[in-house]
Amino acid sequence: MDPNAYRLLMRQQAGAVTIIAVGNAGNRTGLTATAVCSLTDAPPTLLVCVNRTASAHSPIRETRTFSVNLLARDQMPLAMSFSGKVGLEGEARFLAEEWTTLTTGAPVLKNALASIDCELADEHGFDTHSIFIGRVRDGCTRDGADPLIYFRGTFCDLRAFDK
């Protein structure tokens, strides 16, 4: 199948917008991603798919840690910053919001809808991407916030579907 036709098909699937982050203060990087899902709850694990050309790919392998930060609807500018569409790279992407660490030391967005702190448990390669399996070591949530969604090629929130 033609990759452009495939992307059009997949844009019909609404997905949670996340930032996958890795590294230590002064040397952090990350990316906006929707290819994230829960794998098991016993033990708690999730999987993330990261393009091998992404700046976060090698650091995830090297540090064996990463975080998955589910974004709230008021964090669309942050999603744009980490998507690479506004020209920011590396540490510069982290300056607009407050970040902290939990158990593994991976950067965690303080005001995310939810932040999941992971230790790399396994990795599987597939064509252009790596499937990283993270063992969840810690996490936190922001009560009362609404999620940011990616649907039909754009960021939106659940209010777009209220009719």
Average pLDDT over residues 17-43: 96
Q: Is the pLDDT of residue 54 over 90?
A: yes
**pLDDT score recorded for residue 114:** 97
Provide the pLDDT confidence category of residue 160 given band limits of 50, 70 and 90. low
Contacts with 103 (C-beta within 8 Å, 6 or more apart), sequence order: 117, 137, 138
Judged against a pLDDT cut of 60, whether residue 163 lies above it is answered with no
Spell out a b/e string for 40-62, using b for 16 or more CB atoms within 10 Å of the CB, else e.
eeeeebbbbbbeeebbbbebbee
pLDDT above 80 (res 103): yes
Give how many domains the chain has, as a whole number: 1
The DSSP call for residue 43 is T
* Domain interval for residue 137: 17-144
Domain annotation covers residue 24? yes
Indicate the average pLDDT of the chain. Answer: 93
More confident of the two residues 19 and 158: 19
- Give per-residue pLDDT as tens, 23-32: 998 999 999 9
- CATH number, domain containing residue 104: 2.30.110.10
Q: Domain for residue 152, yes or no?
A: no
Could you tell me if residue 155 is inside a domain?
Answer: no
What pLDDT is stored for residue 162 in this prediction? 59
What is d(CA 78, CA 80) in angstroms, rounded to the nearest whole number?
A: 5
